[in-house]
Amino acid sequence: MRLRTIARGARRGAALVGLGLAGGAALVTARHALMTPQPLKSGLPGEGRLDRQHGGEVYYSVAGPEDGVPLALLHDFYPGASNYEFRAIYERLAETYRVYAPDWLGFGMSERPPLTLTGEFYAGMLVGFLRDVIGRPAVVVARGRAANIAARAAADAPELFERLALVGPYLEAGERLEPAAGQVVARLFQRAALGLTPYAALSLRPALRLAEGLRSAVGPGQVDDETVDHLYASAHQFGGQYGALALMTGELDLPIQQVFPTLEPPTLLVIGERDWKLPVARLERLAALNPRADLEVILSAGATVYQDQPKLFVGALRRWLGRRIPRQVARRVEARTVAEAVAEAERVEARVPAPTLPPVSPEPGALPVEVAAAPEPAPLEEAPAPVKIVPVLDAPSGQAGKPRIQTRAAPRRERKTAPRAAPAGGRAAPPAATPRKRGNTTTGKAPSGEASPRRRKKT
């Protein structure tokens, strides 16, 4: 009875907890729907523009001299993310460089279409933005998962990247064979058409303040209200859950360890000393994979290095950009025709003359050296005739009798004789031909096993 009572009480408790969670989720979702949208404006100075060529309307801010070196700032992915992340360094960099700060599609002031957003999609979007909007090789600064996307884009189109600065790249992408627990939960909600519920919970003000405090070195208690208000307004826009769900399900994760050794542009890895998610030792191992990579550790800074220590970050970036670092040349096999290869060989031969050895002069007092002619080869001896055993049939019975030994003379090799000197006033007579002797020279009979030659009658 007691066990039944305990089991019945456990079931009732679980049911009550489930009802409470369902009611809380419904309340949070309804509140998010009622509070959406919020008024949102760009927090960066300069000119705001739209790029409508790559998947939707991409908003970006641009400032700085038009003839300056182009520099693109790419923010990380999280609820409420936007280019407002670079507010502490945007104006400092715009004094020297032509700065572009876009909002990723699905975040900030950009359009939030119901698309399947993946890391490959954003890499292609970045390549198109650099090619069509900026139009020349640019310095790219990216953080977090955006750093992985920038590395993939630099591997696909290295001619669009002058240099690459990666701040705290996401090294855990591609290391796990199975999805994490959070990714499994997010996928379950997404399949049940409840994808708005986890996003609504993460876009609450306390959740946004906690996440921002963990990204910086000051902690959640030191995050100002202005920052929280901008995060809240950016998170409460129509369609904001699409990009956040792609983030929570792991669709935006691109491995960086495979493409980092092949990067051609010079690369700078930046990490904050107080970044609790990314140890410095792991980033040192990543920097060792590329000979053109440098590592910069900013003291008293968290994951958002440029917010905690903007002066130190800008100083380190300008020092690195002032150094002359050659690009890594990729080994590419060029197909050439045979005619081109022959022409190249002829040009090389024409440029490099053949070496000529100087004549050797005899030493004074040395005796002349006579070179003896090579002796004539000895004449080849005739090989012995091969022996063949041939069975002879007894006539007329046709039975095989005793075998007889038959010899075949080996072909003689003609020897060249020197022509005789012609007598005076006449023509040299040809040498007399020696007739071939058959049979035994002493008896005149044919050897055993060989028939005697027959005489032909003349007709």
Q: At what angle do helices 119-129 and 145-156 cross, to 10 degrees?
A: 60
Predicted local distance difference test score (pLDDT) of residue 340: 62
Q: Which helix (H) or strand (E) holds 143?
A: strand 138-143
Whole-angstrom Cα distance, residue 113 to residue 56? Answer: 7
Predicted local distance difference test score (pLDDT) of residue 368: 52
- Report the amino acid identity of residue 349: E
Residues 6+ apart with CB under 8 A from 453: 438, 446
pLDDT range class, residue 395, cuts 50, 70, 90? very low
Whole-angstrom Cα distance, residue 219 to residue 235? Answer: 21
Q: Is residue 67 part of a domain?
A: yes
Q: State if pTM tops 0.75.
A: no
Q: Is residue 10 part of a domain?
A: no
**What are the DSSP calls for 212-276, one per residue?**
HHHHSSS-GGG--HHHHHHHHHHHSSTTHHHHHHHHHTTTT----TTTGGG--S-EEEEEETT-S
Structure tokens at 113: 């279409």
Q: Is residue 418 part of a domain?
A: no
Hey, is 379 helix, strand or coil? Answer: coil
Q: Is residue 302 part of a domain?
A: yes
Count of domains forming the chain: 1
Residue 157 belongs to what domain range?
Answer: 43-322
Q: Is residue 353 part of a domain?
A: no
Whole-angstrom Cα distance, residue 226 to residue 207? Answer: 15
Q: Is residue 21 part of a domain?
A: no
Lowest mean pLDDT among 126-135, 355-364, 449-458: 449-458
In the predicted structure, residue 141 carries a pLDDT above the cut 70: yes
In the predicted structure, residue 407 carries a pLDDT above the cut 90: no
Polymer length in residues for the chain:
459
Mean pLDDT to the nearest integer, 249-261: 93
Residue 251, domain CATH: 3.40.50.1820
pLDDT range class, residue 335, cuts 50, 70, 90? very low
Q: Is residue 117 part of a domain?
A: yes
Predicted local distance difference test score (pLDDT) of residue 402: 47
In the predicted structure, residue 320 carries a pLDDT above the cut 70: yes
Predicted local distance difference test score (pLDDT) of residue 269: 97
pLDDT range class, residue 392, cuts 50, 70, 90? very low
In the predicted structure, residue 240 carries a pLDDT above the cut 70: yes
Mean pLDDT to the nearest integer, 170-186: 77
- Of 195, 182, 304, 230, whose CA–CA distance to 80 is shortest? 230
Mean pLDDT to the nearest integer, 378-391: 50
Q: What is the CA radius of gyration of the chain?
A: 47
Predicted local distance difference test score (pLDDT) of residue 411: 52
Predicted local distance difference test score (pLDDT) of residue 199: 87
Predicted local distance difference test score (pLDDT) of residue 96: 95
Q: Is residue 212 part of a domain?
A: yes
